[in-house]
Amino acid sequence: MMSRETFDLVHSVLSTLAYAFVFLVGLTLLALCLVYLLDVSQTKQALRRNYPVVAHFRYVFEHLGSFFRQYFFAMDREEMPFNRAQRSWVYRAAKNLDTTQAFGSTRDIHQPGALIFVNCPFPTLGIDATPVSSLIIGASCPQPFTANSLFNISGMSYGALSKPAVQALSRGAKLAGCWLNTGEGGLSPWHLESGCDLVFQIGTAKYGVRDAQGNLCDARLREVAAHAQVRMFEIKLSQGAKPGKGGILPGAKVSAEIASIRGIAAGQDSISPNRHPDINSVDDLLDMIARIRRVTGKPVGFKCVLGAYGWLDALFSRIRQRGMDSAPDFITLDSADGGTGAAPTSLMDYMGLSIRESLPMLVDRLQSHGLKSRIRVIASGKLINPAEVAWALCLGADFVVSARGFMMALGCIQALQCNRNTCPTGITTHNPRLQKGLNPDHKAQRVHHYVHNLAHEVAVIAHACGVREPRELQRYHCHQVMQGGRSRALSELFPLPAPPAAAQRIPLREPALGDELAEPKHPHG
Ligand SMILES: Cc1cc2nc3c(=O)[nH]c(=O)nc-3n(C[C@H](O)[C@H](O)[C@H](O)COP(=O)(O)O)c2cc1C
């Protein structure tokens, strides 16, 4: 039997709950009435006016839809910009987990455009394999750079990225022995703290190396170059996601610290000009390269995405007239489908050529002007998995860099919110609450593993093709599937032109072990 006190207690709890329930129902009804009145009286949204209250479900579902599609409905190779298969490889490589798969491939190798490598009947044995060779960039500079890693971190500014993200990349680059490009936002203490190799990018606003009027300042350049870690300087002409548009950093992300590093006002949108005001022709470009090299003593190159490409011939002809020393030490070629912190959709979706088309174009022109071994080629644009990197090497890239591959190594889930300061993984936000989840030391390990495992698997591809190391990959090692399902070698699709007769003949690469076995006499035989 229940005692009187217990009964009273249960009774009072139940009646309180009942009152609370009635109160909540009443409150909900009141809120719905309020929403109804607001919906029918507003004039901005037709849907809310015509279907008061229920119209809100559309907005909720539209928001939730992106999560449902990503987690439940999108197939492994369906999503953009990166599908689940591509992302999973990066996540597993970064966590140093097994990247092997069971049962069979889910990739459709019959699709036009698909890339496949041609295996050698007698692959390179482990004992014959050699480590990836280092390459010197800017051999004739007072301070040339010997780069050891063929896969490196592409430019992302401190500002677009959070402090812990930059720290993780910097520490990871040090562990992995690769370089980190600062992006156009200047050099921060967080780039420098690990001691990793850095490439300083000079954007159109010359953040970090500008005077009060926004012009390039030699004294500031000298200060930046005085850091031994800063190995090279990159003039940014354009980037794939927004050719013809300068950097955009929303005011919400321009903290006092970022403002002082860049030399601008805090809290205001940081918008750089849509090109370097002082570079208006190929001669201006060569003059600027010469000036920065003279002031810094270090290799200087430029980054661009190709659209119109006739200017390359003008540039390379001019270099031959002015002399080999006038050449940029490297060209970073970005793909039209490259990433960004923020860009107008029309430029992102419609402007520029993809790396698939532009990389052979650039390499062929360098080759035909006899400049291929003078100017190093750095390729970027969705080259985040080993096969894509190997493809770029086959076509003649000397290095590959990635931005979003490394963001994924830091834990990016492709939430597509880099421009909103709400990045849920703390990578592209300055909200301290969201940054808390990103531990720089832990993620530095992931960056390290990603570089290591990617390089390892590119070497696996190279060895299966019968060469000793990835830098020996050639165009005939990779095929592209055409309409109808038959594949053609890249050497057929993009035959490498002969260098000019007057120039000293420089082979694209040294002949490699197994080349004669790998090169098919009849491409389809
Ligand atoms: C968040 C973010 C910030 C970026 N900031 C810069 C930048 O400051 N300068 C630049 O040249 N490119 C910038 N990029 C472009 C990348 O460096 C790279 O060229 C492009 O994303 C293609 O590489 P990916 O496909 O591996 O990401 C940025 C990209 C992202 C995603």
Query: What's the CA-to-centroid distance between 381 and ligand 1, angstroms?
Result: 9
Q: What number does the ligand 1 atom closest to the CA of 236 have?
A: 11
In a domain, 55, yes or no: yes
In this prediction the pTM is 0.90
Quote the tokens at residue 31. Answer: 């809120």
Q: Where are the beta strands (DSSP E) in 148-277?
A: 151-153, 179-181, 197-202, 230-236, 248-249, 270-271
Query: What's the CA-to-centroid distance between 155 and ligand 1, angstroms?
Result: 5
Q: Which residue has the tokens 């109808």?
A: 484
Q: What is the mean pLDDT of residues 474-486?
A: 96
In a domain, 96, yes or no: no
Ligand 1 pocket test, pick from 154, 248, 358 with the greatest ligand atom count within 8 Å of Cβ, gives 154
Q: Are 285 and 427 in a shared domain?
A: yes
How many Cα atoms are found within 13 Å in the side-chain-facing hemisphere of 229?
Answer: 21
Q: Which helix (H) or strand (E) holds 493?
A: helix 490-493
Specify whether the CB–CB gap between 467 and 459 falls below 8 A. no
Q: Which residue has the higher pLDDT, 525 or 411?
A: 411
Q: What is the mean pLDDT of residues 123-147?
A: 97
In a domain, 523, yes or no: no
Provide the percentage of residues in the chain whose pLDDT is more than 70: 95
Express each pLDDT in 320-329 by its tens digit. Answer: 999 999 999 9
The backbone torsions φ and ψ at residue 436, rounded to the nearest 5 degrees and listed phi first, read -60, -30
Q: Give the residue whose CA is nearest to atom 17 of ligand 1.
A: 155
Quick one: pLDDT at residue 306?
98
Q: Give the residue whose CA is nearest to atom 9 of ligand 1.
A: 183
In a domain, 99, yes or no: no
Q: Are 311 and 448 in a shared domain?
A: yes
Q: Are 158 and 257 in a shared domain?
A: yes
Q: Are 67 and 162 in a shared domain?
A: no
Q: What is the DSSP string of 338-357?
A: ---SS--HHHHHHSS--HHH
Mean pLDDT of the chain: 92
Specify whether the CB–CB gap between 477 and 467 falls below 8 A. yes
Q: Which domain holds residue 450?
A: 135-493
Ligand 1 pocket test, pick from 236, 271, 340 with the greatest ligand atom count within 8 Å of Cβ, gives 340
In a domain, 385, yes or no: yes
Quick one: pLDDT at residue 501?
78
Query: Closest Cα partner for 181 from 424, 28, 373, 380?
Result: 380
Q: Give the residue whose CA is nearest to atom 4 of ligand 1.
A: 156
Domain boundary among 39, 73, 107: 73
Q: Are 48 and 140 in a shared domain?
A: no
Residues with Cβ within 6 A of ligand 1?
154-157, 160, 183-184, 201, 236, 239-240, 247, 303, 334, 338-341, 380-382, 384, 402-405, 418, 428
Q: Where are the beta strands (DSSP E) in 337-459?
A: 376-380, 399-402
Express each pLDDT in 154-205 by its tens digit. Answer: 999 999 999 999 999 999 999 999 999 999 999 999 999 999 999 999 999 9
In a domain, 120, yes or no: no
Query: What's the CA-to-centroid distance between 340 and ligand 1, angstroms?
Result: 5
Q: How many structural domains is the chain composed of? A: 2
Q: Are 145 and 62 in a shared domain?
A: no
What is the pLDDT confidence band of residue 216, given thresholds at 50, 70 and 90? Answer: very high
Kindly state the DSSP code that residue 472 receives in the 8-state scheme. G
What is the pLDDT confidence band of residue 509, given thresholds at 50, 70 and 90? Answer: very low
Q: At residue 522, does pLDDT exceed 70?
A: no
Express each pLDDT in 93-113 by its tens digit. Answer: 999 999 998 899 989 999 999
Q: Are 315 and 173 in a shared domain?
A: yes
Q: At residue 21, does pLDDT exceed 50?
A: yes
Q: Are 358 and 254 in a shared domain?
A: yes
Q: Give the residue whose CA is nearest to atom 23 of ligand 1.
A: 381
Quick one: pLDDT at residue 505?
46
Q: What is the mean pLDDT of residues 77-84?
A: 90
Query: What's the CA-to-centroid distance between 208 and ligand 1, angstroms?
Result: 18
Q: At residue 394, does pLDDT exceed 90?
A: yes
Q: Are 167 and 22 in a shared domain?
A: no
How do beta strands 376-380 and 399-402 pair? parallel
Q: What is the mean pLDDT of residues 50-77?
A: 87
Q: Are 52 and 179 in a shared domain?
A: no
How many Cα atoms are found within 13 Å in the side-chain-facing hemisphere of 26?
Answer: 6
